[in-house]
Amino acid sequence: VSSRIKELANSSFELYQNGLGYNNLLFMSAVLGDMAIEKGGIYHNLLLIEEPEAHLCINNIRLMSSFLRVFASKNKSVQLFYSTHNAELINKMDLKNVVIVHEGNAFSLLQELEEEERDYLTKNPNLDLFKLFFSKKCILFEGISEEMLIRSYLDSKNELSDIELISFHKGYTKIIEIWKKVNSGTSNKLGIIRDYDYQDNAKKDHDKYDDGKTICVRTTDEKTLEPEIVKTGDNYTILKDKYGETLGWKDMSSDEMQKAWQNAKALDMLTICKDIESGDLPDLEMPKHIKDVL
């Protein structure tokens, strides 16, 4: 960025020839640089930035995010505040500095979560706090099989296209508590889809958050998802007739199919979900715990 600023300063290049995003990047870079060049010292101790991601492409958002972090780490006498709608500008390694603002209320993750709980969020892959807390309809689920099944079903139903899906390794009760605070007084809804895994206490801990209005928590009756699908309605016959030859289920009983599918996991699920999305399995029924959430 610094070399690009120098290049522009020493040429007849007109800034209007850039897009809004690139000029925004240059402007913020110049301001941050200017704050640090007064004989190597800082002459402002507070910097407020509104939506630094404005008009930036994804690569420049990451560049700006990196620039802000380096600036903050090298200039300890400056407090840096920025408001953002882009998760790329949230440092997952430093969630104690994140404040969630919604409907006139603010919730600091430093105060609302213990260190162990913030560490959980940090370790969770691809966490998007905006989708989690601000979506009108959001479903949390555990694994890749659930994601493929639910996403393919949603894609096959236009009326369900406004639902956000986020994968969590396990259900997390503290997240539900924060979600309730952030979404108090709104019409937003949260769904939790869990595997039983023979953990009665965990099921009870999550079930208590089901209020029948804004939060719906459902857990499989069986250990995991696949047996639930096979045992629902006429699914066993439908799956056996369509995939008996290709997936080796032709001569299997219902119990045998359940076990075989659990062992194959994502590979067989992908084959089936492609057909769900394309409309080739119109009679396949979603398990009750997923239908309840939807």
Tokens (6 digits) for 240: 């056996």
Dump pLDDT digits (tens) for 176-189.
888 888 888 889 99
- What mean pLDDT do residues 86-107 have? 83
Residue 60: pLDDT band with limits 50, 70, 90: confident
Least confident of 31-45, 105-119, 147-161: 31-45
Dump pLDDT digits (tens) for 122-179.
877 767 777 888 889 999 998 888 989 999 999 888 888 889 998 877 657 888 888 8
Q: Is the pTM of this model over 0.85?
A: no
Residue 26 near residue 18, CB atoms below 8 Å: yes
| Secondary structure (DSSP) of the chain | -HHHHHHHHTS---GGGS-HHHHHHHHHHHHHHHHT-BTTB-S-SEEEEE-TTTT--HHHHHHHHHHHHHHHHH-TT-EEEEE-S-GGGS-GGGGGG-EEEETTEEEEHHHHS-HHHHHHHHHSTT--HHHHHH-SEEEEE-SHHHHHHHHHHHHT-GGGTT-EEEE-SS--HHHHHHHHHHTTTS--EEEEEE--TT-HHHHHHHHTT--SSSEEEEE-SSSSHHHHHHHSTTHHHHHHHHHTTTTT-TT--HHHHHHHHHHHTHHHHHHHHHHHHHTS-TTPPPPHHHHHH-
Residue 39: pLDDT band with limits 50, 70, 90: very low
* Phi, psi (deg, nearest 5) at residue 189: -130, 145
**pLDDT value of position 235:** 93
Task: Report whether pLDDT(4) > 60.
Answer: no
Task: Specify the higher pLDDT residue, 138 or 117.
Answer: 138
Task: Report whether pLDDT(92) > 90.
Answer: no
**pLDDT value of position 17:** 67
